[in-house]
């Protein structure tokens, strides 16, 4: 299934007139189907079925990826990313305790990468995060059942629409 997902993701990406410079993923119930605080470090984590193919294709296409995750057990989350051998795929890994806010993660990601919020795309499973980060200018997609090809297509399509709307409004000012 991995090569099929990569091929389909490449096709979805290839159809876009404009791409985000940075795609940010939450972890719990976005990249993997569990809360890492309900797990032990010695367990072997796993991703949603389409997640690895999507991540690999984004990297192959030159689109940077990052993590913005609230977790009371950031050490377990980081261990899981290492066990899955995907830690190095991310240009920024903002994983903090649940008392932090997604907006704080995005401020740090912006400071580290220099990517404007309007050039970012977020995938997350929580409404409150989608609402908060959208107010910063980030195109934000609510996922149900984790990241998959459908969510990727929706996210890229909304990013293009939002970018086009901003370009049109700038033309009239």
CATH classification at residue 133: 3.40.50.1000
Which helix (H) or strand (E) segment is 69 a member of? strand 64-70
The reply to whether 171 belongs to the active site is: no
The reply to whether 26 belongs to the active site is: yes
Q: Is the CB of residue 55 less than 8 Å from the CB of residue 65?
A: yes
pLDDT value for 165: 77
Q: How many domains does the chain have?
A: 1
pLDDT value for 101: 81
Helix (H, G, I), strand (E, B) or coil at 47: coil
pLDDT value for 98: 60
Active-site entry in 28, 64, 124, 125? 28
Q: Print pLDDT tens along the chain (173 aa).
A: 689 999 999 999 999 989 999 999 999 999 999 999 999 999 999 999 999 999 999 999 999 999 999 988 999 999 999 999 999 999 999 998 766 688 999 999 999 999 999 999 999 999 999 999 999 999 999 999 999 999 999 999 999 999 887 655 554 44
Active-site entry in 26, 64, 124, 125? 26
pLDDT value for 111: 96
pLDDT value for 173: 47
Q: What is the DSSP string of 75-139?
A: HHHHHHHHHTT-GGGEEEEEEE-TTS-HHHHHHHHHHHH---GGGEEEEES-HHHHHHHHTTT-E
Its domain, for residue 75, covers 2-171
């Amino acid at each position: 299934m991995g090569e099929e997902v990569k091929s389909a993701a490449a096709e979805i990406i290839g159809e876009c007139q404009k791409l985000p410079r940075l795609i940010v993923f939450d972890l719990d119930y976005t990249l993997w189907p569990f809360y890492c605080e309900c797990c032990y470090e010695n367990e072997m984590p796993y991703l949603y079925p389409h997640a690895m193919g999507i991540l690999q294709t984004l990297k192959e296409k030159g689109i940077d990826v990052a993590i913005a995750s609230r977790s009371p057990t950031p050490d377990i989350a980081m261990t899981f990313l290492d066990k899955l051998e995907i830690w190095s795929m991310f240009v920024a890994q903002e994983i903090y305790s649940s008392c932090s806010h997604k907006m704080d993660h995005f401020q740090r990601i912006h400071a580290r990468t220099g990517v404007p919020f309007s050039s970012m795309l977020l995938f997350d499973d929580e409404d409150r995060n989608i609402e908060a980060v959208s107010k910063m200018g980030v195109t934000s997609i609510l996922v149900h059942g984790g990241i998959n090809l459908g969510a990727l297509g929706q996210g890229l399509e909304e990013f293009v629409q939002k970018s086009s709307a901003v370009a049109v409004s700038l033309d009239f000012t």
